[in-house]
């Protein structure tokens, strides 16, 4: 590259975007800006406000009166609020049990709905309909009427069966899960939709090539389907954790609301803010657990490519060092030749 080319590259390292690229970038920034404004107004500002409230006792008398108490709200929760501690333990068990069941159920239904069956659109509507209908007050009414459980299912018998080879706490949570099985399956509509979109993007030629090589349907599932949709499994697991943690049937959410609107001097906005931050840290920890279990890891091919790129960069650096060293030697020899201190051998025996 010439000197002018090098100067031009340093001055303008990236080519100027064309009109179409600028328009597409502007459209992308416009969509992202809506999320950023919503995140700032409805999430970030309330989070900062609740973190500030956590360190105060707040009384609503002619406005909000703040009294700084430090970590007293946190210690009071862990020492004097057994309902919240018990609710946390129950929430952890239920979440760790429900998330795999909901994700696996959604994957099975998505694979069935992705096949060539009659009335496929109708069945997709049936499985997604609870997401639209069963929410908010409708969910509360159905749960109060017992529609979220199976009447013919003997929950106590299920608990007794699991109690023979599992700890009692785990057996009780499994019994609760079976008792609310219908409501648990109602939560899988969005996950089914995400899995369907992922399954439809898999190239059918991969399955045809595998079957020509003698691969069975089970082998195609483990070697093609599951590795391809693995990122969607992580997305659905995280979505399920967040959904279970924020819906109106969650006992901890109700405890936080009750503490926030309590008229007692020991509770209030500050106490509820401390409970909310403990709960949010717990939810984040559960999300990180599922991310560690389901997060994408680089396979052997990716590691080999990365290792090869590092080797190529190392060889290029070594080649540049040799070129710079050769250039310095050539300059030094040229200076010595001009001063008459260096003579070359012409091959005839004379210098």
Q: CA 294, 295, 298 angle in degrees (round to 5)?
A: 120
pTM: 0.70
Which residue ranges form the domains of the chain, and what is each CATH number? 83-303 (1.10.3720.10)
Q: CA 44, 54, 86 angle in degrees (round to 5)?
A: 105
CA 322, CA 273: separation in Å to the nearest integer? 64
**pLDDT for residue 298:** 60
**Kind plus residue range of the DSSP H or E element containing 56:** strand 56-60
**pLDDT for residue 41:** 86
**pLDDT for residue 13:** 45
Would you state the structure tokens that stand for residue 67, as one six-digit string? 């009294």
**pLDDT for residue 283:** 92
Non-local CB neighbours of 193 within 8 Å, separated by 6+ positions: 128
CA trace torsion 93, 94, 96, 102 (10° rounding): 170
**pLDDT for residue 285:** 93
**pLDDT for residue 10:** 45
For the cut 70, the answer to whether the pLDDT of residue 43 exceeds it is yes
- For residues 238 and 291, the answer to whether their CB atoms sit within 8 Å is yes
Cα radius of gyration rounded to whole Å, the chain: 32
Helix/strand/coil for 62: coil
Residue 288 banded pLDDT, cuts 50, 70, 90:
very high
Q: 31-54: string of b/e by CB count within 10 Å (b at 16+)?
A: eeeeeeeeeeeeeeeeeeebeebb
Task: Kindly report which listed range (29-33, 113-117, 316-320) carries the lowest average pLDDT score.
Answer: 113-117
Would you state the structure tokens that stand for residue 275, as one six-digit string? 């409970």
CA trace torsion 153, 157, 163, 165 (10° rounding): -90
For the cut 60, the answer to whether the pLDDT of residue 152 exceeds it is no
Q: What is the mean pLDDT of residues 13-42?
A: 81
For the cut 60, the answer to whether the pLDDT of residue 347 exceeds it is no
Residue 237 banded pLDDT, cuts 50, 70, 90:
very high
Per-residue DSSP letter, 59? E
Query: Would you put residue 313 in left (φ > 0), alpha (ψ -120 to 50) or beta?
Result: alpha
CA 118, CA 116: separation in Å to the nearest integer? 7
- For residues 58 and 64, the answer to whether their CB atoms sit within 8 Å is yes
**pLDDT for residue 136:** 64
Question: Kind of pairing, strands 64-68 and 56-60?
Answer: antiparallel
Residue percentage of the chain with pLDDT more than 90: 9
129 or 192: which carries more pLDDT confidence? 192
**pLDDT for residue 4:** 43
Task: Kindly report which listed range (179-193, 230-244, 259-273, 292-306) carries the lowest average pLDDT score.
Answer: 292-306
Mean pLDDT of the chain: 80
Do you know the residue count of the chain? 351
C-alpha dist (Å) from residue 138 to 103, 134, 144, 236: 24, 6, 10, 24
Residue 3 banded pLDDT, cuts 50, 70, 90:
very low
**pLDDT for residue 135:** 64
Exposed / middle / buried, residue 115 (Cβ in 10 Å: 0-12, 13-18, 19+)? exposed
- For residues 184 and 94, the answer to whether their CB atoms sit within 8 Å is no
Task: Kindly report which listed range (104-118, 142-156, 163-177, 317-331) carries the lowest average pLDDT score.
Answer: 142-156
For the cut 70, the answer to whether the pLDDT of residue 241 exceeds it is yes
Q: What is the mean pLDDT of residues 43-48?
A: 88
Would you state the structure tokens that stand for residue 194, as one six-digit string? 């995400």
For the cut 90, the answer to whether the pLDDT of residue 261 exceeds it is no
Per-residue DSSP letter, 63? S
1 or 238: which carries more pLDDT confidence? 238
Would you state the structure tokens that stand for residue 283, as one six-digit string? 């939810």
Would you state the structure tokens that stand for residue 206, as one six-digit string? 């991969």
Would you state the structure tokens that stand for residue 22, as one six-digit string? 């600028």
Q: What is the mean pLDDT of residues 270-281?
A: 90
């Amino acid at each position: 590259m010439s000197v002018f080319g090098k100067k031009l590259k340093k001055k303008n390292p990236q080519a100027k975007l064309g009109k179409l690229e600028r328009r597409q970038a502007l459209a992308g920034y416009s969509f992202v800006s809506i999320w950023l404004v919503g995140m700032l107004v409805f999430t970030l500002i309330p989070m900062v406000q609740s973190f500030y409230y956590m360190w105060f006792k707040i009384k609503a008398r002619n406005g909000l009166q703040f009294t700084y108490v430090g970590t007293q709200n946190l210690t009071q929760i862990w020492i004097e609020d057994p309902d919240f501690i018990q609710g946390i333990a129950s929430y952890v068990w239920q979440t760790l049990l429900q998330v795999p069941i909901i994700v696996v159920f959604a994957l099975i239904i998505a694979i069935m709905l992705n096949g060539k069956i009659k009335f496929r659109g109708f069945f997709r509507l049936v499985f997604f309909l609870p997401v639209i209908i069963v929410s908010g007050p409708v969910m509360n009414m159905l749960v109060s009427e017992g529609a979220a459980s199976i009447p013919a299912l003997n929950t106590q018998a299920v608990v007794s069966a699991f109690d023979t080879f599992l700890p009692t706490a785990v057996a009780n949570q499994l019994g609760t899960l079976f008792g609310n099985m219908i409501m648990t399956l109602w939560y899988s509509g969005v996950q089914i939709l995400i899995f369907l979109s992922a399954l439809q993007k898999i190239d059918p030629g991969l399955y045809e090539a595998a079957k020509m090589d003698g691969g069975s349907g089970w082998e195609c599932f483990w070697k093609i389907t599951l590795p391809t949709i693995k990122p969607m499994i992580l997305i659905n697991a995280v979505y399920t954790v967040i959904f279970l943690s924020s819906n109106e049937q969650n006992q901890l959410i109700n405890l936080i609301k009750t503490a926030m609107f309590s008229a007692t001097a020991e509770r209030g906005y500050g106490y509820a803010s401390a409970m909310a931050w403990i709960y949010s840290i717990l939810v984040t920890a559960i999300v990180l657990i599922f991310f560690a279990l389901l997060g994408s890891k680089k396979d052997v091919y990716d590691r080999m490519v990365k290792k090869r790129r590092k080797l190529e960069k190392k060889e290029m650096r070594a080649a540049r060092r040799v070129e710079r060293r050769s250039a310095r030697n050539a300059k030094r020899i040229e200076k010595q030749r001009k001063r008459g201190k260096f003579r070359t051998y012409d091959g005839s025996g004379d210098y």
